[in-house]
Structure 1
Amino acid sequence: MITGKNYIGSQLIAGGDKVFKTFNPQLNIHNPWQFTEATTDEIKLATAIAHHAFLSFQKATGKEKALFLRTIAEEIMTLGEDLLDVYCQESGLPKGRAEGERGRTIGQLNAFADLVEEGSWVEATIDTAIPDRKPLPKVDIRKMMRPLGTVVVFGSSNFPFAYSTAGGDTASALASGCPVIVKSHPMHAGTSEMVASAIIKAAQKTNMPEGVFSNLNSSGIEVGVQLVKDPLVKAVGFTGSINGGRALYDLAAGRPEPIPVFAEMGSINPVVILPDALKQNAQKWAIACAGSVTLGAGQFCTNPGLILGIKNDDLENFSNQLANEILKMDPICMLSPSIHKNYEVNKDSLSSQQGVQVVAAYDKNDKPNYAAQKIVTVSGKEFLKNTVLHKEVFGPFSMIVQCENKAELVAVLNALEGQLTGTILGEETEIKTFNDVVDALGNRVGRIIFNGMPTGVEVCPAMVHGGPYPSSSDSRFTAVGIDAIKRWVRPFSYQNWPNDLLPEALQNENPLGLSRLVNNIQTTDSI
């Protein structure tokens, strides 16, 4: 049941007078549910009870947090078809996508449960005392990771499950021992409330402290601004636009006590096609690129918005084949009328720039909110002259950049802003002759792909979903995979502390059986 109220801890509260509805982009009508935006008093209540919850939640054992996370996963599954139906009504995405994204969300929760139950993620490091060391004695120092405090998570528009209420930011923050306040995305507030109800039930079933999780409605930016400014909030997770992420980053930096904002923002994910790949597999890569550009109406953060090659007849042949493949595909519904409108505006803006030529433009679309795909091309020289051409177009759009030679290709790569991914399509035998291209691409991205498409982010320990600014606000961290937990913790040392008063992770006996770095040796042994 959707109430339209805010979850402030386990309480459903709606004391404000600002209301809104979500929108069904497939039917082009508003959904029936009405949501009440959180008031200033409700925001302060949410941060206050989260702060109080942190006092005990930070001390929860790995087993206790693991049970909480696994119970969240179970409660989400218990919501069944009703949750999937609301997801589809609010996003315009098909049921198969909803099921897949729900599965990814469940997998993330369980992965973090496994991580904290095992426990070595705290990076316990012990340097024992040497009292007779000359000229000065060495003290006993023991270090481990400690949670930061209340984390605010901004739900993303394009992943109502996996990057939203119980998504990777929330799962990793709870796993670290940080309470979470979600500012739900106004496009899928009903989905968020239902998932929030599952988290609240799980918290109650596993005896988590009141306030360990809250979910606040908002139709604009005011709620988010207040949350980021609140002195009881200690970190922020965000997935969305460059403008939105940068605004939050600046707000957080301007506080009397600055806090970190881990923002995953824009990316055009360049795909470099080397000469032998063009010569031998143009049709194969044209089909693959067309599928990746249009996947999910191009509303993935890893959408390939830029295709780079060295100008010759083979690149021309590839462009023609890509055009043919793009025009075979039917347009797909976008997430909202506003996203569709922005797509059309940005697509037209880049298409009208000096030197840009249209390769293929689908022109048979007559459905509202459906995105007509488009491919354009431009010379490397023009691309280097005009930074407007570097702009992300969120939707099924891509630009082919025709470079005169390898040197210009390297120059284009060096001129790019930071990206989440970079792709090399080529033959293994020619990679060695393009090392400078590979190096230039690697310096601009968080993940480099060989002979595959960037869309599709495997959730696994080795994954890096982040990159140099502006693809993310801090390239040292990932938003996907178990290392995402590192965003919400800080290193903390105990000096000359009595063994019995230390956290179990640092005690001599190693009661948790962790892998620890003891006097520069990695071991599970006791001291």
Structure 2
Amino acid sequence: MTNVNSVDPRTGEILAVVGSETTDEQVDAICDRAAAAYRTIRERDRSWRSGLLRAMAEALEGRRDKVVETADAESALGAVRLNAELTRTCYQLRFFADVVDEGSFLEATIDHAGPTGMGPRPDLRRMLVATGPVVVFGASNFPLAFSVPGGDSASALAAGCPVVVKAHESHPATSQLCADILRDAAESVGAPDGTIGIVHGRAAGGRLVRHPAITAVAFTGSQRGGEALMELIDQRPSPIPFYGELGSVNPMVVTEAAAAERAADIGKGFADSFTLGVGQFCTKPGLAFVPAGRAGDAVVEATAAAIREKPAAVMLNAGIAAAFGRGVEEMTAGAGIVRVASGRSAQPGVAAQLLEVDEADLTDRMLEETFGPVAVVVRYHDPASLAPALNRLPSSLTATLQTGSGEPTLEPAAQRALEERAGRIVYNGFPTGVAVSWAQHHGGGWPATNSLHTSVGATAIRRFLRPLTWQDAPESALPVELRDATTGVPRRVDGVLVPASE
């Protein structure tokens, strides 16, 4: 059997043997337990589910020091960053508990029997119900917030779906520790065995998505990895939804007025944003459109000055660091591209890179995500030339606008180009930061994501629900939320939205 090793990315040394890769038989048993757990959980009320999520948050908080220590040892992300990430992780578990308690996610709808313009109507009652066991693939770059206890798991559990996580090989010890903590918390509130499961190994991940008990897959990772999983899912006798967050270049546009007013602030902010977390954020701004001329020069100079002061930093693993090096080489091989500045070099870290190219020399390779601390400045000569350049871009999670005073938007064609390609438009800020809130989401078109609902924000729960309508059902057969006397959730009754009441 193949060992699952926890590796220190700073030294390449094995820290511990976490266990062995999960066998086919073990994967099947884990999925079968998840299916059995689903049959129990779907009979539990919403208050129990919200209590489960809050218990998990409390349990993670109670093991904070151990979780952070373990995650730092095998990610090199540092205690400050990881403490903040754990705080976010616990917050989003509690946030989804609030979503469950509030109840509007159910879309509870009642149409009483009666006459209509097209004839008599039966009594119809509809709401969203859990799909069943869900697979979550942990992300490399967020060992907590987008991994075992992350937003995918939190939203699936909120929906009422048991979760089986495929641990990422970059942080198997952290993944196993968090799975154990969540499992203990679940047991403490009477959750059935199988509510939380975990597997290790790529073969186990492939078998997971093919198992007949699994009803949806959530994945954060490379486009190539996502496409491989989609191919496996398409081979199933009954295909299931795949929710992928895969790659994003995240353009930033700086107007002439913004460059003239705030060059130093924009340059430093841009440098800090695309190097945050060693450039390993999916929202990293990788492409900045900056005007040609003196005002734009000042933005580039400020960015370059900040980059030259950036120390070398260790990436998540040796494979990711090697891919970063190849990506920079591929981009700098293009005609007309210039390496403007590099960060400080030191082994085993990588140095941040700032590249620059004229809009006429922009290549397709520069329009792809390069994971790591590198960004390309594209110099444009006329605001009218922005729209054709932006129309070449793939879809992204974010697009950022740096505008001047009294200049709220771009020229209409350029503004439309960004709005058609981005899931979130950031004005006069930077995109590396994704709040957990009702209004937030974390999506965009392909290859940023392939779905309407994503891993962040209240609508993340929508991925793991399906509509079910009861027609002329006796009250005893109805969920509590669809019974006439229920007032605790917002509902649409005979076409009228009725708010919840105490």
Fold match (TM-score > 0.5):
yes
Alignment partner of 2:341 out of 346, 360, 377 = 360
1:186 aligns with 169
Shift of 1:134: 6.2
Alignment partner of 2:232 out of 215, 232, 251 = 251
2:29 aligns with 45
Give deviations 1:213-254, integer Å, cap 9, x for gaps.
Answer: 111122xx2111111111111100111111111221222123
Q: Distance in 1 between matches of 2:410 and 2:33?
A: 59
Q: Distance in 2 between matches of 1:520 and 1:115?
A: 23
Alignment partner of 1:290 out of 250, 254, 271 = 271
Give deviations 1:416-456, integer Å, cap 9, x for gaps.
Answer: 11100000001242335623222211110000000000101
| Aligned counterparts, 1:112-511, within 5 A | 112-130=96-114, 132-133=115-116, 136-218=119-201, 221-362=202-343, 364-368=344-348, 370-383=349-362, 386-431=363-408, 434-474=411-451, 476-510=452-486
Matched residue SS, 1:210: coil
Q: Distance in 1 between matches of 2:499 and 2:72?
A: 48
1:523 aligns with 498
Give deviations 1:341-381, integer Å, cap 9, x for gaps.
Answer: 1111111111111221111123x41221x120111111212
Shift of 1:294: 1.1
Q: Distance in 2 between matches of 1:371 and 1:457?
A: 25
- Counterpart of 1:463, as a letter, is Q
Give deviations 1:38-74, integer Å, cap 9, x for gaps.
Answer: 0000000011111111112122211111111111111
Shift of 1:152: 0.4
Matched residue SS, 1:146: strand
Shift of 1:29: 1.7
- Counterpart of 2:112, as a letter, is T
Q: Distance in 1 between matches of 2:43 and 2:361?
A: 57
TM-score, length basis structure 2:
0.97
For the Cα contact (< 8 Å) 2:443–2:454, is it kept in 1? yes
Gaps of 5+ in 1: 1-16
Q: Distance in 2 between matches of 1:188 and 1:260?
A: 26
Q: Distance in 1 between matches of 2:223 and 2:177?
A: 28
Q: Distance in 1 between matches of 2:366 and 2:104?
A: 45
Shift of 1:413: 1.0
Structure 1 residues 139, 350: CA separation in 2 closer, same or farther (over 3 Å shift)? same
Q: Distance in 1 between matches of 2:57 and 2:327?
A: 38
Q: Distance in 2 between matches of 1:272 and 1:22?
A: 41
For the Cα contact (< 8 Å) 1:309–1:409, is it kept in 2? no
For the Cα contact (< 8 Å) 1:35–1:189, is it kept in 2? no
Structure 1 residues 473, 134: CA separation in 2 closer, same or farther (over 3 Å shift)? closer
For the Cα contact (< 8 Å) 2:30–2:194, is it kept in 1? yes
- Counterpart of 1:438, as a letter, is Q
1:7 aligns with none
Q: Distance in 2 between matches of 1:460 and 1:133?
A: 40
- Counterpart of 1:118, as a letter, is E
Q: Distance in 1 between matches of 2:462 and 2:117?
A: 37
Shift of 1:135: 5.7
Structure 1 residues 327, 144: CA separation in 2 closer, same or farther (over 3 Å shift)? same
For the Cα contact (< 8 Å) 1:59–1:177, is it kept in 2? no
For the Cα contact (< 8 Å) 1:310–1:409, is it kept in 2? no
Deviates more, 1:514-523 or 1:75-84: 75-84
Matched residue SS, 2:282: coil
- Would you say 1:57 and 2:37 are equivalent positions? no
Q: Distance in 1 between matches of 2:117 and 2:106?
A: 32
For the Cα contact (< 8 Å) 1:139–1:496, is it kept in 2? yes
Gaps of 5+ in 2: none
Give deviations 1:82-135, integer Å, cap 9, x for gaps.
Answer: 2211111010111111111110010011011111123222010111110x4466
Structure 1 residues 33, 423: CA separation in 2 closer, same or farther (over 3 Å shift)? same
1:32 aligns with 16
Structure 1 residues 525, 90: CA separation in 2 closer, same or farther (over 3 Å shift)? closer
Deviates more, 1:478-487 or 1:250-259: 250-259
- Counterpart of 1:54, as a letter, is Y
- Counterpart of 1:297, as a letter, is V
- Counterpart of 1:379, as a letter, is D
Matched residue SS, 2:411: helix
Structure 1 residues 424, 162: CA separation in 2 closer, same or farther (over 3 Å shift)? same
Shift of 1:303: 0.7
For the Cα contact (< 8 Å) 2:312–2:346, is it kept in 1? no
For the Cα contact (< 8 Å) 2:226–2:244, is it kept in 1? yes
Give deviations 1:463-489, integer Å, cap 9, x for gaps.
Answer: 121111100011x11210121100101
Structure 1 residues 432, 196: CA separation in 2 closer, same or farther (over 3 Å shift)? closer
Name the Cα RMSD after superposition: 1.5
Q: Distance in 1 between matches of 2:410 and 2:438?
A: 31
| Count of residues paired in the alignment | 501
Matched residue SS, 1:181: strand
Matched residue SS, 1:508: coil
Q: Distance in 2 between matches of 1:445 and 1:134?
A: 42
Structure 1 residues 118, 165: CA separation in 2 closer, same or farther (over 3 Å shift)? same
Matched residue SS, 1:486: helix
Shift of 1:309: 2.5
Deviates more, 1:76-85 or 1:173-182: 76-85
